[in-house]
Structure 1
Amino acid sequence: MCAIADSGSVRKAARQLGMTQPSLTTQLHRIEKALGGQLFFREPTGSRPTPLGHTVLCRARPIVAEMRALIDEVASGPHRDRSTRLHIGSTNSPAVAGWLRRLRVRLPDTDTTIRTDVSANALLHMVATGQLDAAFVHEVEGAPLRVPDGLVEHELIAREPQFIAVVDTHPAAARTVIRVADLADDQWMVDPTVDGEWAGLRRIWAAAGINPRVVHGDYLTTVDLVTAGEVVTPCQPTARPRHGMAIRPLYGDPLAVRLLMACRQEGTPAASPDDLFADLTASYMETAWASEAYRTWLVQHNGPLPVGG
């Protein structure tokens, strides 16, 4: 699938993969049958992903990258001792960069790497199976994560409010707080691959008595669409506003997530869970207070922030 999407045609993808075109076509049909839908539009100029294809590709690319990394690691010969390696994972968060920076200062002789994924459940599975040493993830309120046995949770924030991003010329952008009902006529962008996000949004829409138009996409393209006035979208309170974008709290904070770090009970030889969590906490606090919108909200609500905030 990734080869077809990248090359733009089944013929070119088959050549890149060292296969015959009929063999690749047969494999593609098997995948489409298993998923229950068409993944590519076949056009005279080549093949382009359908909406379902885009969704599947978002999940397929990390799998392919992980498999390539595994092959490279095995092929590289003798592995380093585990005590010199630290593999962490995270769903998207502005706090990740600061977490990495602090870990590298704390562990200068350790090879620290990070894996990001939109799926918190996938990251938790990777921790449980030893592919990651720890993961920083979020759990959407009302949509519990599937935490594997043997993992220990370190809760960073019990309830972090989720804000909303709108174009700065939107009428609601002039307010300090936006009601969900004020966005009934807007088109909302939702990434269906983010665990719990779709369920959380449907819950707050139902509570507000609205049924807005929805477009599915990935949050990498959201900024351009928001600043163009095409969509509104939920965002983390620590998100950095871009030119042409306004980030505001939602009235009553109806949408929230729980932030946690998970690791195996036995910990990791490279660093203690307490040290990992301390650096994550410090990075999150730094990021939170650097966000003007979140800083204002925190002052008005007296928190919440981790101990020491």
Structure 2
Amino acid sequence: MELGLRHLQVVVAVAEAGSISRAAASLRIAQSGLTAQLGRIEREFGAPLFLRRPHGVEPTDLGTHVLHGARLVIGQFDDLIATARTRAQGGGAATIRLGGVDSPWISTVAAALRGLRPDHEQITYVEDDSGEVVDLVRTSRLDLAVITEHPDAPAPKPHGLIFRDLGVEPLLVGLHVDHPEAGRDRIRLAHLAEYDWIAPADKAGGLRQSLRTACERAGFVPRFRHFGADHGTAATIVGSGTTVGLFPMSSPPVPDVVLRPLAEEPLWCRTMLVWRPGSPLASVATDVVTMASDERFRTRKPFLVVEPDPADYRRAM
């Protein structure tokens, strides 16, 4: 059997479904047929891609490697189809490929690009890890990207790429307006030891690692109970109960949610724009930085009672 794109799509479908039976239902094929096909795919790769568990399947180390590459290949193929169709329909303008980790800055950068290149189609990719994003820029699969870094987790900076700061801002604790700690001007992490936390994305700039380290310094291990939520979903979860989470200072207001600065050593987020010197957007990238930074801090109003002291996060500068 010669491996092809459809086989990679099968592997991704099984991983995303979490079980062969659910994947078979989504692919509209018999479970026995999918099981046999997956077995042939695994033999071609030389080892199992998934561990079969009572509750479903989990990727092996090899499976994780294959999944990472498969998603890149499938994404490139989808990009090829989309851009080819655009050109076939007479749209000769180039396509801007913007990427990054989950961050409110992505929409701001996208708006700046639309202002500078209004005749260009724009495609945006959101990845899980700043390292993956940088690799996509380095290999010319992204023209421009937004990455982040946090305390104890510096962003990757391969030689040959250009990095420019968009801004450094404190990360604030988000609580329900009736939360017992919501009335304080500043929050001590130790006071949140008994509450459930929303876990930041596992790899997004090392934020989960930084939060866990800060909590351990405060004497406890954070009790993560919610995983995989983006900023908007996380805020909604916080607004519905006693769960707490971390949010950028410039986050837009959410009903029933208040943000409070930390009293101890602060957590912060540095956001950067990265591109290749030979990128199609290299000539306007500096303008994007200026426009995005100006717009971001002009229009985003933090919804907190006490402004954090800039000295709290000066070590990030």
* TM-score bracket for the superposition, by shorter chain length: 0.7 to 0.9
Partner of 1:45: none
SS in 2 for 1:156: strand
CA contact (8 A) 1:94 1:287 kept: no
Secondary structure at the residue paired with 1:218? coil
Distance 1:253 1:145 in 2: 20
Alignment match, 2:183? 174
Counterpart of 2:184 in structure 1: which amino acid?
R
Partner of 1:12: 25
Deviation at residue 156 of structure 1 after TM alignment: 2.4
**Residue 162 of structure 1 is aligned with which of 168, 171, 177?**
171
Can you list the C-alpha shifts for 1:157-179, whole angstroms capped at 9, x where unaligned? 3x421111122211111112111
CA contact (8 A) 1:192 1:216 kept: no
CA positional deviation for 1:143: 0.9
Shift of the 25–71 alpha-carbon distance from structure 1 to 2, 3 Å rule, reads same
How far the C-alpha of 1:17 sits from its partner, in A, is: 10
User: Cα deviation per residue 1:162-209 (whole Å; 9 max; x = unaligned)?
Assistant: 111122211111112111111011112213242412220121012211
In structure 1, the residue matched to 2:35 is: 22
The question of 1:198 aligning with 2:212 is answered: no
Query: Which residue of structure 2 aligns with residue 263 of structure 1?
Result: 275
Provide the C-alpha distance between the structure 2 equivalents of 1:61 and 1:244, rounded to a whole number of angstroms. 41
Aligned to 2:6: none
- Cα 1:38–1:200 change in 2 (3 A) is farther
Q: What is the CA–CA distance in structure 1 between the aligned matches of 2:130 and 2:149, rounded to whole Å?
A: 8
The 1:139/1:35 distance shift into structure 2, 3 A limit, reads farther
Question: What do the CA deviations read for 1:22-59 (whole angstroms, capped 9, x no partner)?
Answer: 3245279889x7677557825xxxxxx7799xxx8x97
Q: What is the CA-CA distance between 1:281 and the residue it aligns to?
A: 1.4
* Aligned equivalent of 2:55, options 41, 50, 71: 41
Sequence identity percentage: 21
* Structure 2 SS opposite 1:153: strand
Q: TM-score, normalised by structure 2?
A: 0.75
- In the alignment, which of 75, 99, 105 is matched to residue 66 of structure 1? 75
Residue number in structure 2 paired with 1:213: 223
| 1:34-87 deviation per Cα after TM superposition (whole angstroms, max 9, x unaligned) | 677557825xxxxxx7799xxx8x979964762442341475496999983322
Q: RMSD between aligned alpha carbons?
A: 3.9
Contact kept in structure 2, 1:95 and 1:283, CA below 8 Å:
no
Aligned ranges 1:120-131 → 2 under 5 Å: 120-131=130-141
Tell whether 2:127 aligns with 1:113: no
Matched, 1:93 2:93: no
Partner of 1:292: 303
1:192-249: CA deviation from partner (whole Å, max 9, x where unpaired): 2424122201210122112232225112342343223252111111222322222211
Please give the secondary structure, in 1, of the residue aligned with 2:148. strand
Say if 2:172 and 2:249, in contact at 8 Å, map to a contact too: yes
User: What is the SS of the residue equivalent to 2:307?
Assistant: helix
Aligned residues of 2:259 and 2:303 also touching (Cα < 8 A): no
Partner of 1:248: 260
Contact 1:86 1:270 in 2 (8 A): no
Q: Which amino acid in structure 2 is aligned with residue 293 of structure 1?
A: L
Secondary structure of 2:119 counterpart: coil
Partner of 1:185: 194
The answer to whether the 8 Å contact 1:83/1:270 transfers is no
Distance 1:69 1:14, change over 3 A: closer
Q: Which of 118, 142, 162 is residue 132 of structure 1 equivalent to?
A: 142
Q: In the alignment, what sits opposite 1:277?
A: 289
Cα 1:27/1:15, change in 2 over 3 Å: farther
Contact map agreement 1:189 1:233 (CA 8 A) in 2: yes
Question: How far does residue 250 in structure 1 lie from its aligned partner after superposition?
Answer: 1.3
Distance in 1 (CA, whole Å) between partners of 2:252 and 2:286 is 28
Where structure 2 has 5 or more consecutive residues not aligned to the other structure, the ranges are 1-10
Going from structure 1 to structure 2, the CA distance change for 1:263 and 1:163 (only over 3 Å counts) comes to: same
CA distance in 1, matches of 2:68, 2:243: 23
Contact 2:239 2:257 in 1 (8 A): yes
Moved more, 103-112 or 223-232: 223-232
* Structure 1: gaps spanning 5 or more residues: 43-48
* Letter of the structure 2 residue corresponding to residue 20 of structure 1: G
- Paired letter, 1:41: H
Q: Which of 84, 94, 99 in structure 2 is aligned with 1:84? A: 94
Contact 1:14 1:20 (8 Å CA) reproduced: no
